[in-house]
Structure 1
Amino acid sequence: MSSQGDQYRQKADKKASSSGGFAFFSSSSSKFEEAHDLYQQAGNAYKMENKHKEAGDAFSRAAEMALKNDEKDDAANDFWTASKSYKKSHPERETLTLRLKLAVAVASLQKTIQLYKEKGRFRQAADRHKEIAAILQQEGGDLAGALEAFQAAGDIYTQEDATASANGCYKEAAELAGSLGHYQRAIELFERVASQSLGSALTRYGVKEYYLKAGLCWLATGRSELTISRVAGWKQDVVSTKRAIDNYCNADPSFATQRECKFLNAIADAFDAGDAEEFTAAVADYDRLTHLDAWKTGLLLAIKRNIAEEPGLV
């Protein structure tokens, strides 16, 4: 016996493919509207039956019906609902693999974004970009895709003067860029967030953290630049880092007195001297009072490896 979800889906399919009868009594518009409602009912029924992949399919079909009637707001909402159902589908019990499940969820969100943009609902489009970023980062392991989605969300929030939301997305994007070794991009994003944060007493406290992370990226910059000689690249990293620290102190004079600034200078000096022991001691001293998180630790380990690997400097 077919489930209630199947029954609604069959009715919806029949209505969507029907000729519509005599034009006097019916119309394509009403046909698609009725099919839309039936697909929504099917989707809700499937959700109650814990058939999330089928629910996603039904809501996607509902969105297609809404588009046929040029109801873009309804379509956007339906695609969004479909994406949430696809995320909940169980790959071990469904024919959908995990990778395909996430790809379908992201595709539904991308359709939602496009429709929101066409309707001028940019804040909601940015929200959906954040959802895509979370899916790719947390469930899909696609850090590069998550980076692009976070930055896209931040750019839209910026256009909408939603500075706090934009900075949150840029911070996430910056950390992903640093983790992926895209240091220059990470620097630009961290410095952007820092600059935006200087203007408010509520956000100014976090500036030293952004400067620290940007400084670490400066020190790592050039390690993958194959066009620069290894020794020249080594020295350029230190010069760029020192120049960046000076710029940070000019933008925020209080930074010069912060432990973060002193720490950056200490490890830059150790890096310049090619002294891995001095570098390790500076890191340990800082970590005793201010615990280093996983992101900073990973970058510091990469920088230390560069000291050990640099010929003629240790």
Structure 2
Amino acid sequence: MDSNYVLKGDEFMMKGDKALKGSAFGNIFGSKGERAEKALELYKSAATQYKLGKKWEKASEAYQRCITCDQTLKSGETGDFYVESAKAISNVNKAESIQFYEKAIEHYASENRLDNASRYKKEIAQIYESEFEFHLAVKAYQEAADFFQADGKRTSEYNQMRLKVAELSTLNASGDLIAAIKIFEDIGDKYMENKLTAPSAKELYFKSCLLYLCNNDSVGCGIALERYLDKDPSFASARQYKFVVNLIKAVDNNNVQMFSDECFEFNKIIPLDKWKLNVLNKIKESMQPLQQVEDGGFR
């Protein structure tokens, strides 16, 4: 069945090439735009057949030929065809898909379609993240945040991109912990300005505290805790607050057992996600380098 789709795709591609080139007689009476319009529909049909046949490279190539037609027609779909080309090739070649997404973003930005530019910059960031290329993911998420900010319509998306920057930057050995703390604090403060988002501020303040400890700054962590309490008095009754207070004590006393016990007990009540486990690992390693916190357990 797949081979039938591919054969149909090949047929549409040949017809598209022929339509775009035209004939000596046809070129006299038909305009270049008319040939491009006819070829465009044939190339789109070819791309559909190739996708059904799971021939992703050919589908991507068909969309690239659509771009050639669109540049003649000037119908403003070049960016969209780059995206379709990227989506098709991403099934077999992530690196090449990123190149096409970048070209799409360039077109969207030049056309003031910042919503699309930000969306596909985010897509690039997610690809890098899935490939564990965290330094490239951080850069792409920051660029996505810049697009969302410039667009000025989707504040929540802008904040989400900045939070990804903060989280992923801490996974690199050279990650800027102070910059990540500032992002968590800044967005946490903004959350406190709205009753609907205020409850979410605790989580960001909690992450900031963990990063202070990860940065070997228990004093700064204590000062930050007081500052967070001034902004959100309800934080004092949160388990995260009590947990951080006890972690500070463990770190100041270099008490690895106490640190492990506190993590173990907290994890039983509020399961720690991978990001927090990673940060706690780093804190514990700084206390006792040869002993690591196992994923999901602290004994």
Q: TM-score, normalised by structure 1?
A: 0.81
Counterpart position of 1:47: 51
Farther off after superposition, 80-89 or 280-289 = 280-289
Shift of 1:166: 1.8
Equivalent pair of 1:20/1:31 in contact (CA under 8 Å)? no
> Using a 3 Å threshold, how does the CA distance of structure 1 residues 63 and 251 change in structure 2: closer, same or farther?
farther
Q: Distance in 1 between matches of 2:185 and 2:210?
A: 12
CA deviations on 1:264-304 (whole Å, 9 max, x unpaired) are 22212321222212222322232232221221112111111
SS at match of 1:267: helix
Give the partner amino acid of 1:84: K
Q: Does 2:17 match 1:13?
A: yes
Shift of 1:20: 7.6
RMSD over aligned CA atoms reads 2.5
1:150-189 alignment, distance < 5 Å:
150-159=141-150, 160-181=152-173, 182=175, 183-189=177-183
Give the partner amino acid of 1:284: F
Q: Across the two proteins, how many residue pairs are aligned to each other? A: 283
Tell me which of 192, 197, 207 is aligned to 2:191: 197
Counterpart position of 1:246: 226
Q: Does 2:83 match 1:80?
A: yes
Tell me which of 229, 249, 255 is aligned to 2:235: 255
SS at match of 1:151: helix
Shift of 1:210: 0.8
> Using a 3 Å threshold, how does the CA distance of structure 1 residues 145 and 245 change in structure 2: closer, same or farther?
same
> Using a 3 Å threshold, how does the CA distance of structure 1 residues 147 and 202 change in structure 2: closer, same or farther?
same
Shift of 1:243: 2.6
Q: TM-score, normalised by structure 2?
A: 0.84
Q: Give aligned-pair identity as a percent.
A: 27
CA deviations on 1:136-190 (whole Å, 9 max, x unpaired) are 222x332222222222222322332312222222222322112224222322322
> Using a 3 Å threshold, how does the CA distance of structure 1 residues 21 and 128 change in structure 2: closer, same or farther?
farther
Shift of 1:47: 1.4
Tell me which of 24, 36, 40 is aligned to 1:36: 40
SS at match of 1:88: coil
Tell me which of 118, 130, 138 is aligned to 1:147: 138
Give the partner amino acid of 1:167: N
Q: Distance in 2 between matches of 1:250 and 1:17?
A: 72
Gaps of 5+ in 2: 291-299
Q: Distance in 1 between matches of 2:194 and 2:50?
A: 48
